[in-house]
Each structure stands twice: as structure tokens, then as C-alpha cells.
Structure 1
Amino acid sequence: MITFVIFTYNEEHRIEKVIKNYQGYGKVVIADGGSTDKTHEIARSNDCEVFIRPKTNHVFVENKEVLDALYEILTTEWVFLGYADEHMSKDTLEKISEVVASNKFDAIKIYRKNYFYGDFCNDSYKSANNRLFKTWAYDFTDNYIHGMGKQTVSDDRIYNLPPQYFIHHFIDCTLDSHLSKINRYTDSEQLAHSNLKSKTSIFYFFYLIIKNLVKNYFFEKGYKTGFAALSLAELTIFYEIVKNIKIYESQHQITDETIDKKNNLHRMEILKDFINTSPVDDKVQKGNLKNGKY
């Protein structure tokens, strides 16, 4: 049997549909981050257990502290980590149930395919992750955003689900909300990857364009979706650029204060021609300039 864990925060508008999607194929547990809307009420009215996630210093939920606490309440060996913006079709759920029942594997790698602006983006930006696994098959120590832990089992114990079976990922974001998410996630990535060298070369910028537009938009048939897939490609490029800029700022200790100090040197150079000719005033004003009072 599988426990479908759904991570939530204020998901009253979506959570019932997700619960109904998975019920019948296993137990559904809502792993909630302290919702203030009717998420808990709706979950319990649909016979779901509500687990309140422990507070951590991470902006992502796939961390060791949360999962260790979660595993303590699970009664099944298999766990699926899911989100309120995802669904699976009946044939996909039946296929994973068949693989689990075979008892030949410890994890199942599943593709996730995207919808943007309400349009299916085909294979554009599809990803494959081990989202369904036995609780001991992955170690989430020092996990990072978008990561699904470190594999602790051999490759032959992982079943690769054929690509016609996949998770439907509904990106319910306008540009404003997507930009807010990009800012939060890149803050976390900057902390996690601060030891890496930032990629600031113009060639890397062109590489991002080629990778995202040629590979994801054309080869993976995002062009069939049109503007929605193109927008997703542009935002993905922007995400990588923002992440690298933040890593660069961290490594070079660039802050509002350090920028202002450098700018003050330029201000002083501009204002030196405006200083009064009086020796006393000149001395005072130079001192003010040096102290950044202008």
C-alpha cells in the first residue's frame, strides 16, 4: 500500500480535487505548513489525516527534519511525495500500483509534465524524479531545493516508469506570483550553492537561450503550445540568470551598503567642482563628501 503525502499551505481551493485523485489507490496524508484557510477542515471531511510540518529554516519541504517527523506517523512502506498543483491519470495510478505490488523495486522514477497558463506544454520542461519510494530508499540529509534526496539503493531497484505515464503539473501562476516564487527559490539556491563559481560569461547566457529555446521549446515540442511554452522558457532562463547573479553577489560581498560606498566615490568626483572656493568651506565640504553626507 502507498501513502500519498500532499504538501500544502492554504490550499482550500485545490486540495479536495487532489484527495479525490489519489483516494482508492492508497492512504492520503496532508502535510500542512500551518494553513489559515479551510485546508484542514476539507482534508478531514474527506477522511484524510492532517500532519503539521515542523518549522525549519528551509523554504522547501523536502528536507530531513520534515521527512523524519513525517515517517514517524506513516503506516506504509511506500510513500509518494506530492503537491496540491499535481494530478495523476487513472492509468498512471494503476501502473504504479502494479509496480509496487510486484515487490521487485524500491523506488519508481516518474516523469512530470507541465501546464502553463492552463495549456499543456507537451514534453517541454518535463522532469523525472523518484517521487514514489520506500521510506529508506532515499536520504534527505543536506537536500537542496528541487532535490529528492540521495539514492541509497542500487539502480536495478529503481523502476523507470514509461513516459506515457506521468504526473500532470498545473502551474497556477501569473507573472507576478511566478516572480515572487523565483525570488524565494533563488534565495535558497544561493545559500545552497554559495561555494560554486557563479556563471557570468556571456557564452553561458547564450547557452541558456540555446538549451531552453532549442531543446525545450523546439525539440520537446513546446512550440505546439505556443505562447505559454515560450513564456515558460523565458521565465526558466530568467530563473537561472537571477540565481547566478545572487551567487555572484554573495561571493563578492555585494550589498546595498557596499554599492552605496562605491557610488559615493563617483558622487565625490562629480561634486568636487561644486565645492566653494573658501578654504574653510572647502575643507568642511570635502569632509562631508568623504563621510557620504552629500
Structure 2
Amino acid sequence: MRRLPISGVIITLNEAHRLEACLATLQFCQEILVVDSGSNDQTVAVAEASGARVVVQSWLGYGAQKQFAIDQAQNDWVLCLDADEQLEEALQQEIIERFSQGSPEPGVAFEMPRRNRFMGRWLNHGEGYPDPNLRLFNRQQGRWSQDPVHEHVTVDGTVERLRGAIRHQSEESLEHYLAKQNRYTTLQAKRLVAQGKKVGLTKLLISPLLRFLKFYLLRLGFLDGLPGLVHISIGCMNSHLKYAKAWAMQQRAAEK
């Protein structure tokens, strides 16, 4: 297989059970780079067996860790995945075709849909799909944000949309998913407070309602059955909790 001048980049921590499936979809990349933050399972061994170069870096936070990772890549073009994600075959072929005549202009970045699996079902509507993610870009023109959670790529240039999708093959239980969302909303609340954003009743009430209307009704989340309903319900809860936690933090600070 002709390998393209792209570095596939993944950050890991104890991902041995699902990393191999992720890396198998990146074999068209000239380099596969895994940045591990101290796994105590077989993550590093799995990565090396799949042909990846491994760099160890203590945890810096989601955005900062991913930025560190692309800075270590040998190619300017980077394709970033999480360990529980894989590229669908159609997306692999689309990328190969796009790069077959040479690398795109540095100012072009590529966004692709992501298909999420939740409660044993692939979601096809609402927040579960198309869930666009910008993951393929030239690192000279793009950077990961420094957000503690829900990090994203910002680029100087134009964004092209690819049709093939990323599969987000989450295997976590609902209990684990809820615990993760609780951690995430705390990080989001702390960021709101650090930015000095005031939170009031309007945000607490309106944000969850608008999210429900947008994704469950307008984007047809109801077509994904009970998993779709649970998924958006948790999303709306997250919108409420983020602002509720920020409000509580601001109140405690004001009382000191």
C-alpha cells in the first residue's frame, strides 16, 4: 500500500482493548503516532505492534495534549483520532483519492461526519450524526484549542467537507457515560468562571430547552428510538449542569 504524507495521531491512556481497531484504519498514513500519558495496561505494546511510534507525555489536558501530539508528528498533515474511533472504509478511500494527486494546499482543512454508537445502537440523527468534526489538517495552519474538554481545531483557511464518516465505537456503560459527563460539566463550568461569564436563570432554563428542540425535533433525534431520547436527555442535562455548577461556583466566590 502506498502511504500518504500524513501522520495519524492518537492520544491514549489504558486503551489496549480498543486501540488496535483504531490503528488498523490508519495504515495508509506514512506515520502513526501514539502519545501515551502513562498507561499501565498493554497500550504501548499494542501501538508498537501496529507499527506506531510511541511518545510518552504526562497528561496536559485534552486540548493541550492533542496539540503536543501533533507537534511531535513527522508530517505537517495530521489526521487526529481518539482510540475509540475508526475511519469507515469509504472515508479512508476518500482521503486516499484526495491526496493521490499530491497534498492539498496548506490552507485547506477537512471536516468529516462522526457516527456515534450509544446504548448498543448507531445513532443516525440528532446529536449522534452527522456530528461534524475537523480532524485532517496541516498543522502549520491549524491548532487544537486549549479547552479542558470538548476541544476543537481552529484553522486559518478553508474547510472542505468529506462524506465518509468516523465511527465512534464507545463501549462504555450508561453509568460510566454519566460519570464522564459529570466530570466534563465541572470542567466546562470552571472555564466559564475563569472567563468571567455571568450565569443566570435564563441560561439555566433556556439552554437545555433550545438544545432539545434543535436536536431531538428539528434534527429528528426521535427517529433513533429510546437511545436517541436518552442521548438528548443527557445532553440537555449537561447544558443545565454546566451553568448550574458555574452559578454555584460564582456564588461561593461572592460569599468569601
TM range (shorter): 0.7 to 0.9
Deviations 1:224-258 (A, max 9, x none): 32111111011101111111111101111179xx7
Find the aligned partners of 2:234 and 2:16 in 1 and give their Cα distance.
27
Structure 1 residue 23 corresponds to structure 2 residue 27: yes
Change (3 A) 1:254 1:69: closer
Amino acid at match of 1:27: E
* Residue in 1 that maps onto 2:115: 113
Q: Offset of 1:143 from its aligned partner?
A: 3.6
Alignment length (residue pairs): 245
1:79-98 matched pairs, under 5 angstroms:
79-98=78-97
Deviations 1:57-85 (A, max 9, x none): x3x2x22xx35543453211111121111
Identity %: 23
- TM-score, normalised by the number of residues in structure 2: 0.85
Q: Offset of 1:141 from its aligned partner?
A: 5.9
5+ residue gaps, structure 2 = none
1:204-219 matched pairs, under 5 angstroms:
205=205, 208-212=208-212, 214-219=213-218
Find the aligned partners of 1:49 and 1:33 in 2 and give their Cα distance.
14
8 Å CA contact 2:108–2:157 kept in 1: the answer is no
Change (3 A) 1:176 1:52: same
1:1-294 matched pairs, under 5 angstroms:
1-56=5-60, 58=61, 60=62, 62-63=63-64, 66-67=65-66, 69-100=68-99, 101-104=102-105, 105-125=107-127, 126=129, 127-140=131-144, 142-151=146-155, 153-155=156-158, 158-161=159-162, 164-194=163-193, 195-201=196-202, 205=205, 208-212=208-212, 214-253=213-252
Amino acid at match of 1:107: A
8 Å CA contact 2:8–2:80 kept in 1: the answer is yes
Local SS of the residue matching 1:10: coil
5+ residue gaps, structure 1 = 259-294
Find the aligned partners of 1:223 and 1:34 in 2 and give their Cα distance.
40
Amino acid at match of 1:154: G
Find the aligned partners of 1:207 and 1:24 in 2 and give their Cα distance.
42
Deviations 1:179-221 (A, max 9, x none): 21112111211121112122423x8535523532x43223333
Amino acid at match of 1:146: H
8 Å CA contact 2:125–2:223 kept in 1: the answer is no
Find the aligned partners of 2:56 and 2:240 in 1 and give their Cα distance.
35
Local SS of the residue matching 1:98: helix
Deviations 1:14-47 (A, max 9, x none): 1111111221344222221211111111111222
Q: Report the RMSD for the aligned CA atoms in angstroms.
A: 2.5
Local SS of the residue matching 1:14: helix
Find the aligned partners of 1:103 and 1:148 in 2 and give their Cα distance.
21
Find the aligned partners of 2:122 and 2:217 in 1 and give their Cα distance.
15
User: Whose RCO is larger (CA < 8 A, sep 6+)?
Assistant: 2
Find the aligned partners of 2:206 and 2:70 in 1 and give their Cα distance.
44
Change (3 A) 1:204 1:26: same
8 Å CA contact 2:208–2:237 kept in 1: the answer is no
Local SS of the residue matching 2:75: coil
Larger radius of gyration: 1
